[in-house]
Amino acid sequence: MKFLSTLFVVVFICISAVAQKPRVIILATGGTIAGEGASADRAAYTAGKVPIESLLKAVPGIENIATITGEQIANVGSQDMTIEIWQKLNKRINEIFANNEAEGIVITHGTDTQEETSYFLALTERSDKPVVITGSMRPSTAISADGPKNLFDAVTVAASPKSNGKGVMVVFNENIFDGRDVTKGNTTNVAAFHAPTLGPIGKVYDGKVSYYMEALRLSNKNTPFDITNIKTLPKVGIAYMYADAEPGAIQAFVKEGYKGIVIAGVGNGNFNKVFYNAIADAVKKGVVVVRSSHVGSGRVTQYDEVDDKTLGTIVSDDLNPQKARILLMLGLTQTSNKDILQSNFFKY
Ligand SMILES: NC(=O)CC[C@H](N)C(=O)O
């Protein structure tokens, strides 16, 4: 009798484990994926119009992958993304995982600043469970809209047990990218994202997830950046270098009381003499200056054409300027020690 009842309990647990779908919560923030136009071409549309419930209706079969619920966190074109929305996202993500509300999270997001949100969250959210960001290049009303397919793939990745421990990722056009490495590489094409250092870490196709490599830079709960009780981040600006550039942007940031400046340098984080002098002046006034590059791939290395020791600058390693800005803002919430801030760029 005891054996039979034990057997019954074991069989019941097995059946319910098989029947129970993973739970995925979609946090919607807007973007082209929620865009709406008056005609079927992609021109003249407004990003961030369509609510998450309508987006889900356009994805047949998505309900078979996971038990899905949607929440609207914001509804903006991601050029209007703010640190306040990042904080809202971060808070809700940490809450969802702490309360065991879902196995995975998908964030729908405009593509323009998707790479910044992915890195910010990779540095600040605190779980091993997957957070998958996606979007689209064509609005929901366009011919061959890519949003439904990207959303289907993102939910597939978020629901997959293979994704545990992978942290924050971007899923786009069947590629899975690490949230740190990913960057937008095309202004209009559906293959809008790439990852200059690693390439995609995996692929998602036909409801199946395959990983090929792993990012080793520390992220998620292995970073010290906890923004739970932080209202605003220290101001960090980006100054763009080009032939015969003038240093007005650097001087303006210093005047406005910015705590840090990232130089979107040429080549290996280089700049001309007037930039050099303005940077030296900024450093003397206590502003932390990071050398990055607008080349689009590769590292900015220390003590190359610029002697960072003499100038007092630090380098971004392979982070592009917009990502270097995020790491510097978060680093500055903890210290203004340049050695520690520099070591962050080799760790995270
Ligand atoms: N493809 C897009 O998502 C671009 C739309 C808009 N600029 C945004 O980033 O939200």
Q: Which two tokens stand for residue 288?
A: 């932390």
Q: 342 versus 142: which is more confidently predicted?
A: 342
* pLDDT confidence of residue 49: 80
Residue 88 belongs to domain with CATH number: 3.40.50.1170
113 catalytic? Reply is no
Distance (Å) from CA 321 to ligand 1 centroid: 20
Distance (Å) from CA 203 to ligand 1 centroid: 23
110 Cβ closer than 6 Å to some ligand 1 atom: yes
In a domain, 229, yes or no: no
Beta strands 288-293 and 314-315, pairing class: parallel
Task: Examine the domain organization and report whether 217 and 252 are in the same domain.
Answer: no
Single-letter residue type at 202: G
Q: Is the pLDDT of residue 8 over 70?
A: no
Task: Examine the domain organization and report whether 247 and 212 are in the same domain.
Answer: no
Task: Examine the domain organization and report whether 195 and 89 are in the same domain.
Answer: yes
Task: Examine the domain organization and report whether 103 and 133 are in the same domain.
Answer: yes
Task: Examine the domain organization and report whether 45 and 157 are in the same domain.
Answer: yes
Task: Examine the domain organization and report whether 186 and 302 are in the same domain.
Answer: no
Q: Is 111 labeled as ligand-binding? A: yes
| Mutational test site, ligand 1, from 33, 50, 112, 114, max ligand atoms within 8 Å of CB | 112
Atom 5 of ligand 1 has which residue's CA nearest to it? 32
Task: Examine the domain organization and report whether 137 and 35 are in the same domain.
Answer: yes
Question: Residue 46's beta-bridge partner residues?
Answer: 36
Task: Examine the domain organization and report whether 202 and 249 are in the same domain.
Answer: no
Give the Å distances, CA to CA, from 241 to 184, 244, 292: 20, 8, 10
150 Cβ closer than 6 Å to some ligand 1 atom: no
**Number of structural domains in the chain:** 2
Containing domain of residue 257, as a range? 236-347
Domain final residue, candidates 164, 199, 222: 222
Residue 16 banded pLDDT, cuts 50, 70, 90: low
In a domain, 50, yes or no: yes
Helix (H) or strand (E) holding 195: none
**Tell me: the pLDDT tens digits for 180-234?**
999 999 999 999 999 999 999 999 999 999 999 999 999 999 999 999 989 899 9
Look at 53-62, 145-154, 170-179, 232-241 and tell me which has the smallest mean pLDDT.
Answer: 53-62
Residue 45 banded pLDDT, cuts 50, 70, 90: confident
- What mean pLDDT comes out for the span 247-254? 98
Its pTM stands at 0.93
- What mean pLDDT comes out for the span 276-294? 98
Task: Examine the domain organization and report whether 293 and 319 are in the same domain.
Answer: yes
In a domain, 12, yes or no: no
Atom 8 of ligand 1 has which residue's CA nearest to it? 110
146 Cβ closer than 6 Å to some ligand 1 atom: no
173 Cβ closer than 6 Å to some ligand 1 atom: no
In a domain, 231, yes or no: no
Distance (Å) from CA 133 to ligand 1 centroid: 13
77 Cβ closer than 6 Å to some ligand 1 atom: yes
Residue 301: Cβ-neighbour burial (10 angstroms; 0-12, 13-18, 19+): middle
Q: Is 308 labeled as ligand-binding? A: no
What is the distance between the terminal CA atoms of the chain, rounded to a whole angstrom? 57
Q: Is the pLDDT of residue 10 over 70?
A: no
Closest-lying ligand 1 atom to the alpha carbon of residue 192: 1
Distance (Å) from CA 24 to ligand 1 centroid: 24
Instruction: Identify whether the C-beta of residue 230 lies closer than 8 Å to the C-beta of residue 330.
Output: no
Closest-lying ligand 1 atom to the alpha carbon of residue 135: 3
Closest-lying ligand 1 atom to the alpha carbon of residue 33: 3
- What mean pLDDT comes out for the span 223-249? 96
Gap between the Cα atoms of 194 and 175, Å rounded: 9
Task: Examine the domain organization and report whether 156 and 270 are in the same domain.
Answer: no
Phi, psi of 76 (to 5 degrees): -125, 155
- Indicate if the alpha-carbon torsion angle 318, 321, 324, 326 is positive or negative: negative
Q: In the chain, where does DSSP find H-type helix?
A: 2-19, 52-57, 62-65, 83-98, 114-124, 147-159, 248-255, 273-284, 308-311, 321-332, 338-347
In a domain, 152, yes or no: yes
* pLDDT confidence of residue 1: 53
341 Cβ closer than 6 Å to some ligand 1 atom: no
Residue 283 belongs to domain with CATH number: 3.40.50.40
In a domain, 5, yes or no: no
In a domain, 191, yes or no: yes
In a domain, 194, yes or no: yes
Gap between the Cα atoms of 146 and 72, Å rounded: 20
Give the Å distances, CA to CA, from 339 to 103, 234, 237, 305, 328: 38, 18, 20, 20, 12
Domain final residue, candidates 198, 222, 246: 222
Q: Is 112 labeled as ligand-binding? A: yes
Task: Examine the domain organization and report whether 209 and 70 are in the same domain.
Answer: yes
Helix (H) or strand (E) holding 189: none
- Give the mean pLDDT of the chain: 93
Task: Examine the domain organization and report whether 43 and 173 are in the same domain.
Answer: yes
Q: Is the pLDDT of residue 11 over 70?
A: no
137 Cβ closer than 6 Å to some ligand 1 atom: yes
* pLDDT confidence of residue 7: 55
Atom 1 of ligand 1 has which residue's CA nearest to it? 137
**Tell me: the pLDDT tens digits for 288-324?**
999 999 999 999 999 889 999 999 999 999 999 999 9
52 Cβ closer than 6 Å to some ligand 1 atom: no
Distance (Å) from CA 151 to ligand 1 centroid: 15
Catalytic residue (one of 29, 32, 183, 223): 32
